[in-house]
Amino acid sequence: MLRATSILALTTACALRLSAQQPASPAQPGPAPGPAAPQDPEQLKALEARVRKLEAEAAAREATPPPRLGGAEGSASKSLNPDISVIGNLVASAGHDPVRPSDGLDLHEAEVALGAVVDPYSRGDVILSFGDGGAAVEEAYLTFNALPGGFVAKAGKLRAAFGKVNPAHTHNLAWTDRPLVTENLLGGEEGIADAGLSVSRILPAPGSLFLEATGEVYRGTSGDLFEARKKKDLTAVGHLKAYQDLTENTNLEIGLSYARGHNPAGEGLVTTLRGLDATLRWKPLLRSIYTSLLWRTEVVWSRREAPDGVRDAKGFYSSLDYRLDRRWTFGARVDRSERAEAPDLVDKGQSLLGTFWLSEFSQLRGQLKSTRYAGGAKGSEFRLQLVFLMGAHGAHPF
Amino acid sequence: MPISAPSRLFRTLALAATALLGLAAGPALRAGGKLNVVATTTDLAALATEVGGEKVAVTAIARGYQDPHFVEAKPSFLLNLRKADLVLAVGLELEVGWLPPLLNQCGNPKVQPSAPGYFDASRSAEILEIPSGPVSRAQGDVHPLGNPHYWLDPRNGARIAEALARKLAEMDPGDAAYFQGRLADFRRRLEAAEKRWDEAMKPYRGRKVVTYHRSWPNFTSRFGLQVADYVEPRPGIPPSPGHLVQLMGMMKREGIKVILVEPYFDLKTPQSVARETGAQVVVLMPSVGGNAETGDYLKLFDYDVDQLVKAFRAAK
């Protein structure tokens, strides 16, 4: 029954197509008008054959692949997982430092970075670090990059935009340690990193000058630098960045930073920090993977209120890095910093550095470091650092 | 009345916020009625100029003689990106080290990867060397999504131009016919040029060459050349002496006389390999603007084909 119906339908379709393709000639009487099933089995067979032929021709003409049936394989959540990368930072040291002693061999940290677009309005980044001191959330924030008016906002735990060293993770620095001025005035490796909100915007500027202002507000507790006793003891951070391409290969960046927060010395006591950073980069575009030069200096002024008065301290570092070829970078750094609580005490240091790049994803760095602490104590160390990255390819530091 | 420190701080912050909000007046307008297009590479910029003509203002981030993997995310690029209506990216993670941070900081919602103003050219091109087995960095800096140097096949140039004409028409429907007209003209010129290139390369089809980096699979497959090996043992890994000895032995055995190098790689190693094997080093331009003679997409192939023909002739 089914077969008879389908043959009927096919013949009808065929007859209609034939009549459309070949107008009936008046000399040959055409088929009776209207769909009528042919009775002759021979005629039926012939029509069936013609249907098949026409269908084959149509298929060849269109030659479209059959539709793909079913959805993608696997679990949907996997394809929406964040990009994951793991960064290891292993430090070995020889020699001694009486003020900041370090272990002979130390897994300084293993960092896990997770990043993904959250929705059409924001992307999320979470950076967890694991080390001898346990696990910590280094950063965890949302970046709202689709705001109107050219604003970019970040909310969450952030490394504050104070200068150049504070926002950077240790493994992205050009050294195995942080400069003395960071240790003495800016809260050490932890630095200013706190839960808060950051808003930045590119400002109008003449010519090709790049100007960007960043304003940040934090909870107010950041290592041993800031301590909020009340909810309103917030920390405020501001940064103004000016950048100019001097030539295609050379550029200069100047930054001004400001931070103000309550310090642990007593209730209502405030620490104010001001910073100036300057970076000069030279990297010939045609040979960028083989040679480059980077000079960077940061100066920080600290004003710390204490129960018995105000302490004004300052410090700076200056660092030069030269890429000799595809695998070697050499550098030097000079440090000098007063101590925030006792500005009369001045620490000084010098470092020589050499970095061997095994690949873009692992590097071996040696640092010969000599420190003369206030009071006459001397530190003399050789530090060897191995940094490696696995997983998602992150942004190149600039 | 003296102002206390917290209220002074509050006042400063409030002033700063007001100033910032004042600057936010109105979105960036199109330059003289033109669509602002920022391409990550000069090749995509050249194709956008072919199709967009005077209806678009096109700039490129990377220079044609620069290694596109290692472009620095300079803040000056943000000045163009924040005003862009359309961003053209090569995709396949070629720009992974620098485009995401630039887009994240530019404060322009129109060109974020999920927005209509973000155009990934790889989606309209034939992609080669898509890994089918396990991928790991033991293979070097591999591109897990396929080889991103696909613009070096003129057929992909035509495909991208076609997709660009559609994208530009979508953003500027009033000029759709203009874009289609320019696309047709570009295709005509490209077809004529392809005949010329095919004719010139015909005697050398099937020749084996060595290349420095894996930049040329689309180019060599289009013009019938075979890449026998690479100077870099793996993408992004500098050559070791052991690898070079092996490479030179193979070149002598197979009679390979041409080493193709991109302008941004040091020529010392390829030249010493060439000296040992009697081959010659040919610096081909991988991108528009690599030198003064490669000013547009067609001239790029004119130059590269010309250099290759000269090298093969000399190798006879």
Number of CB atoms found within 10 A of residue A59's CB? 10
Single pTM value for the model: 0.84
CB A201 within 8 A of CB B24: yes
CB A163 within 8 A of CB A200: no
* Residue scoring higher pLDDT (B19 or A80): A80
Give contacts of B 11-50 with A, CB under 8 A. Answer: 13, 16-17, 20-21, 23-25, 27-28
Number of CB atoms found within 10 A of residue B264's CB? 26
Q: Which of A196-210, A375-389, B232-246, B251-265 has the lowest mean pLDDT?
A: B232-246
- DSSP for residue B237: B
Q: Is the dihedral of CA B48, B53, B55, B60 positive or negative?
A: positive
CB B114 within 8 A of CB A117: yes
Using CB atoms within 10 A of its CB, is residue A92 exposed (0-12), middle (13-18) or buried (19+)? middle
Number of CB atoms found within 10 A of residue B41's CB? 28
What is the predicted pLDDT for the residue at B31? Answer: 54
Q: Which residues contact B145 (CB under 8 A, 6 or more apart)?
A: B91, B92, B93, B122, B127, B130
Q: Which of A261-275, B40-54, B169-183, B226-240 has the lowest mean pLDDT?
A: B226-240
Residue A189 pLDDT > 60: yes
Per the CB < 8 Å rule, is A215 touching B13? yes
Q: Per residue in A196-219, pLDDT tens?
A: 999 999 999 999 999 999 999 999
Q: Which residue of A has its CA nearest to B62?
A: A285
Of A117, A202, A213, Cβ closest to residue B114 = A117
What is the predicted pLDDT for the residue at A57? Answer: 79
| Contacts with B74 from chain A: Cβ below 8 Å | 243, 245, 251, 398
Q: Which of A33-47, A61-75, A350-364, B185-199 has the lowest mean pLDDT?
A: A61-75
| Contacts with B103 from chain A: Cβ below 8 Å | 145
Residue A179 pLDDT > 50: yes
Per the CB < 8 Å rule, is B238 touching A326? yes
| Contacts with B266 from chain A: Cβ below 8 Å | 287, 290, 326
Identify any residues that bridge with A318 across adjacent strands, giving them in sequence order. A297, A334
CA distances from A108 to A128, A362, A396 (A): 13, 16, 22
What is the predicted pLDDT for the residue at A30? Answer: 44
Residue A53 pLDDT > 50: yes
DSSP 3-state percent helix, strand, coil across chain A (nearest 5)? 15, 50, 35
Among candidates A167, A188, A259, A254, which has minimal Cα distance to A217?
A: A259
CB B64 within 8 A of CB B288: yes
Region of A219 please: left (phi>0), alpha (psi -120 to 50) or beta. Answer: alpha
CB A175 within 8 A of CB A351: yes
Backbone angles phi, psi at B313, to 5 degrees: -60, -45
Q: Measured between CB atoms, does B1 come within 8 Å of chain A? A: no
For residues A368-375, average pLDDT: 96
Mutate which of B4, B10, B72, B87 to disrupt the A interface (most A C-beta within 10 Å)? Answer: B72
CB A139 within 8 A of CB A126: yes
Kindly calculate the radius of gyration of chain B based on its CA atoms and give it in whole angstroms: 23
What is the predicted pLDDT for the residue at A80? Answer: 85
For residue B209 the two structure tokens come to 């060459």
Q: Would you place residue A12 in the very low, low, confident or very high pLDDT band (cuts 50, 70, 90)?
A: very low
What is the predicted pLDDT for the residue at A66? Answer: 67
Using CB atoms within 10 A of its CB, is residue A366 exposed (0-12), middle (13-18) or buried (19+)? middle
Q: Could you identify the residue written with the tokens 């104590």?
A: A377
Q: Per residue in A346-362, pLDDT tens?
A: 999 999 999 999 998 99
In this structure, the strands spanning A193-203 and A210-218 are antiparallel
Name the 3-class secondary structure at B189: helix
Q: How far apart are the first and last CA of chain B?
A: 93
Q: Would you place residue A18 in the very low, low, confident or very high pLDDT band (cuts 50, 70, 90)?
A: very low
User: What's the order of all strands across the beta sheet hosting B280-283?
Assistant: B226-230, B208-211, B258-261, B280-283
What is the predicted pLDDT for the residue at B7? Answer: 54
What is the predicted pLDDT for the residue at A4? Answer: 46
Q: Per residue in A68-89, pLDDT tens?
A: 677 766 666 677 899 999 999 9
For residues A2-23, average pLDDT: 46
Q: Could you identify the residue written with the tokens 């000029």?
A: B175
CB A300 within 8 A of CB A186: yes
